[in-house]
Amino acid sequence: MPQEIPKAYEPQEIEEHWAKAWYEENLFRAENSGNPKLAGDAQPRFSIALPPPNVTGSIHIGHMLEHTQIDMLVRWHRMRGERTLWLPGMDHAGIATQFVVERMLAAEGVRRQDLGREEFERRVWRWKAESGGVIKQQMIRLGASCDWTREKFTLDPALYRSVLEAFLRLHREGLIYRGRYMVNWCPRCQTAISDLEVVHNERAGNLWHIRYPVADSKEFLVVATTRPETMLGDTAVAVHPEDERYAHLVGKKVMLPLMNREIPVIADSYVDREFGTGVVKITPAHDPNDFEVGKRHNLPEIDVMTDDAHLNADAGKYAGLERFVARGRVIADLEALGLMEKITEHTHNVGTCDRCKAIVEPRLSTQWFMKMKPLADEAKKAVTGEFGPAAEIEVVPDNQRTILLQWFENIRDWCISRQLWWGHRIPIWHCAGCKEMIPATSSDVEIVDGHARAAGIPAKCPKCGSEKLAQDKDVLDTWFSSALWPFSTLGWPDDSEDLRTFYPTSLLISGYDILFFWDARMIMVGLHLAPGASEKDRIPFRRLYLHSLVRTAEGAKMSKTKGTGVDPLQLTQQYGTDALRYMLASMAAPGTDIALTEDRILGARAFANKIWNAARFLFMNLEKAEASSGITLEELAAPEIRSAAPYAVKGEGELVHRWIFSRLAATSAEVSKALDEFRFHEACQTIYHFFWGDFCDWYIEWVKPQLSSTDRDVAVPAWRNIFAVLDTALRVLHPV
């Protein structure tokens, strides 16, 4: 202890000092935890994987909430003598990172296409180094007690190997397939995106009622549409099979206006007689429903758009126009021809790209998909406990379980290929001759230019013998590698020591916003691919806790790419990490989101200060007591002396000592229980009350005279007691 203890807690220097020391000494290596006397299965274990932050910038306060909660549990388990691993790492975040880098390039007036794939990748790697470094420093500074010796990145060679192994296995099993289907196409990012990456917003729009002249007749069929420009790709018009109004026209042809193409009138029960006119134009290449209808009726599929959402040559005279320009032109032309029956107002859902907000175009495209049904069925059983209690994944809070199960119930296949340059390249080669698709011969990787590439390059086409093979240009959805995270980071597919020791992980803590993106897919993929004879060995985690989200005082969600994130380091400078962590933890009630307000941080800072001062008081008075009654720190701090507390104190006040110890025991028990049930806020509140109310306000005040007594029979036991209490209280507090 320094001579002069500052009056107020000055967190900056102290916290930074310890954070650095912890990191440099690798204090939190898994090897440093646990009870050395216990070997093998007798040693209790606790393992948890960090949800890898995206390397799209730096972490914000929301990450810090997550990390604080994880850290509390990790420290708590470590203190209880368990072999504890918190494995950190980061995610390459394919589309998100590529978007960020593209945006930076745009500021220089450069497009990624100008640079070419290789150069662009180099730029992203450079950005990754920068961003990843920042994130790591932030986490260290914020005191996250993870094992940095095991840090991973989703594009590490070892993890690419896991990805290859997973892909090849699933492909071999027929769970990964390639095909031409309707996908969500983002014209800005110029890639397909999964259903989950589409955000639907209600927007005011119109319903355009267009007359399609019936061939060889004076009649019209009036169709209603929200996207008139897609009519250029119509290949049929549909009515309900039992709709008497139109029964006589089924099987006839109508003339598609503007394109002057004859298309059939078909009957399909998909049509809702009540909506609009009861007649639907069918555009199989640009609408998911129409695509299904088209398949049922063997309709041609005419894609009228280009990758960047301009109309293509199949759109006749509209070719080259941007889609919304074309819409205007189509409407004007229809009106000029007198074929626009009417225009009504209509609000409808518009899908936008989660990343760049561009309006998504449903579009026919050849992509890689993952068959989800069989995987989801198994995952469901793990969540409902059908595999037995040992293989049950407990979901907290409980209502999220329902949500998860519903999602498994209604699962659809997952489009896993992305037309991006940043990510895991698909290990399939296409034969130039016979179009055969040849998978990599192994999941081995080689290092080229410092980064991993698939090494199992097939030499020639097994079907036609051609040697003109080219690797698929697409990369995998970033969540594909994320789905493997709990075991890929531990060495899978190798049978590694870490994998045997720490898999399945004990727990996953993630935000509920990525429940489907990540958590659900980990369960499905882990259950299918992870090693182990039974389900209980393959589930990726035994418990799943979905934490709430930190919002701004106005309730907006935080996001780095949107620039609404709050930098935790800045707040740390102002209030101290401990205060921030405490504040976050104390607000982390399951199920409700957190609005960030300064008040709460101030309260937390006051608490940190209180603790500091309580300790300061004791140390300052100890010096005096040394003089008056000859007490030494050694007499108090030795573990065997502490553990023998409480000591009987001569004279009055015996009860007070007994009281504080009973309160301490109760507090400690309550905190443990709260932590075990993820009630972080209650744990905080309990300690707060004990420390401030019981310990400071009552106990210290009461014991003050005893501490300064010259009678050693009074002073020594009193001191011993108060030190034991302080020590234990700080230990209870340590997780926070």
Partner RNA sequence: GGGCGGUUAGCUCAGCGGUUAGAGCGUCCCGCUUACACCGGGAAGGUCCGCGGUUCAAAUCCGUGACCGCCCACCA
List residues near RNA by CB under 7 A.
7-9, 195-196, 199-200, 223-227, 270-281, 287-289, 348-349, 399, 402-403, 406-407, 410, 412, 513, 516, 587, 589, 591-592, 595, 597, 599-600, 602-603, 605-606, 608-610, 613-614, 616-617, 620-621, 679, 681-682, 685, 692, 696-697, 700-701, 704
Token digits of residue 555: 């309730």
Considering the complex, state which of residue 159 and residue 614 has its C-beta at the smaller distance from RNA: 614
Considering the complex, state which of residue 437 and residue 595 has its C-beta at the smaller distance from RNA: 595
Q: From the CB of residue 97, how many other CB atoms can be counted at a distance below 10 Å?
A: 24
C-alpha–C-alpha distance, residues 186 and 176, integer Å: 22
Shortest separation between residue 456's beta carbon and RNA, angstroms = 35
Shortest separation between residue 594's beta carbon and RNA, angstroms = 7
Considering the complex, state which of residue 214 and residue 608 has its C-beta at the smaller distance from RNA: 608
The sign of the CA dihedral 641, 643, 644, 648 is positive
Shortest separation between residue 12's beta carbon and RNA, angstroms = 11
696, with CB counted inside 10 A (0-12, 13-18, 19+), is middle
C-alpha–C-alpha distance, residues 265 and 242, integer Å: 14
Considering the complex, state which of residue 344 and residue 632 has its C-beta at the smaller distance from RNA: 344
Shortest separation between residue 200's beta carbon and RNA, angstroms = 5
- CA 264 distance to own-chain centroid: 47
Q: Residue with structure tokens 């800072």?
A: 605
Shortest separation between residue 120's beta carbon and RNA, angstroms = 30
Considering the complex, state which of residue 35 and residue 201 has its C-beta at the smaller distance from RNA: 201
Shortest separation between residue 437's beta carbon and RNA, angstroms = 28
What is the per-residue DSSP string for 600-613?
A: HHHHHHHHHHHHHH
Considering the complex, state which of residue 22 and residue 698 has its C-beta at the smaller distance from RNA: 698
The sign of the CA dihedral 76, 77, 80, 81 is negative
Shortest separation between residue 399's beta carbon and RNA, angstroms = 4
Considering the complex, state which of residue 499 and residue 596 has its C-beta at the smaller distance from RNA: 596
Closest CA to 372 of 184, 541, 159, 195: 195
β partners of residue 437:
430
Shortest separation between residue 153's beta carbon and RNA, angstroms = 27
Which residue type occupies 319? A
Shortest separation between residue 563's beta carbon and RNA, angstroms = 18
Considering the complex, state which of residue 243 and residue 537 has its C-beta at the smaller distance from RNA: 243
End-to-end CA distance of the chain: give it in Å, rounded: 22
The sign of the CA dihedral 105, 108, 111, 116 is negative
C-alpha–C-alpha distance, residues 443 and 455, integer Å: 7
Considering the complex, state which of residue 164 and residue 214 has its C-beta at the smaller distance from RNA: 214
Shortest separation between residue 498's beta carbon and RNA, angstroms = 34
Considering the complex, state which of residue 68 and residue 225 has its C-beta at the smaller distance from RNA: 225
Q: Where are the beta strands (DSSP E) in 541-684?
A: 541-547, 550-551, 594-595
Token digits of residue 693: 């109310």
Token digits of residue 675: 């932590």
Give CA separation, 380 vs 397, 401, 413, in Å. 17, 10, 16
Taking the CA of residue 349 as centre, how many other CA atoms within 13 Å lie in the half-sphere pointing to its CB?
Answer: 5
Token digits of residue 26: 């690798």
Is the preceding omega at residue 504 within 30 degrees of 0, hence cis?
Answer: yes
Considering the complex, state which of residue 399 and residue 570 has its C-beta at the smaller distance from RNA: 399
Q: Residue with structure tokens 């011969």?
A: 441
690, with CB counted inside 10 A (0-12, 13-18, 19+), is buried
Phi, psi of 84 (to 5 degrees): -115, 130
Considering the complex, state which of residue 564 and residue 685 has its C-beta at the smaller distance from RNA: 685
C-alpha–C-alpha distance, residues 621 and 639, integer Å: 21
Shortest separation between residue 682's beta carbon and RNA, angstroms = 6
Shortest separation between residue 696's beta carbon and RNA, angstroms = 4
Shortest separation between residue 209's beta carbon and RNA, angstroms = 10
Shortest separation between residue 677's beta carbon and RNA, angstroms = 10
Shortest separation between residue 81's beta carbon and RNA, angstroms = 30
C-alpha–C-alpha distance, residues 663 and 669, integer Å: 10
Considering the complex, state which of residue 67 and residue 281 has its C-beta at the smaller distance from RNA: 281
Considering the complex, state which of residue 171 and residue 209 has its C-beta at the smaller distance from RNA: 209
Considering the complex, state which of residue 153 and residue 692 has its C-beta at the smaller distance from RNA: 692
Give CA separation, 617 vs 7, 80, 246, 707, in Å. 10, 29, 90, 11
Considering the complex, state which of residue 407 and residue 661 has its C-beta at the smaller distance from RNA: 407
Shortest separation between residue 485's beta carbon and RNA, angstroms = 21
Considering the complex, state which of residue 409 and residue 467 has its C-beta at the smaller distance from RNA: 409
Phi, psi of 725 (to 5 degrees): -65, -45
Helix (H/G/I), strand (E/B), else coil: 312: coil
Q: Are 432 and 548 in contact (CB under 8 A)?
A: no
The sign of the CA dihedral 58, 64, 69, 75 is positive
Closest CA to 329 of 310, 348, 302, 301: 310
The sign of the CA dihedral 106, 108, 113, 116 is negative
Which residue type occupies 222? V
The β-bridge relationship of strands 152-153 and 236-239 is unpaired
Shortest separation between residue 603's beta carbon and RNA, angstroms = 3
If you count DSSP H runs as helices and E runs as strands, how many of each does the chain have, helices first? 24, 27
Taking the CA of residue 522 as centre, how many other CA atoms within 13 Å lie in the half-sphere pointing to its CB?
Answer: 28
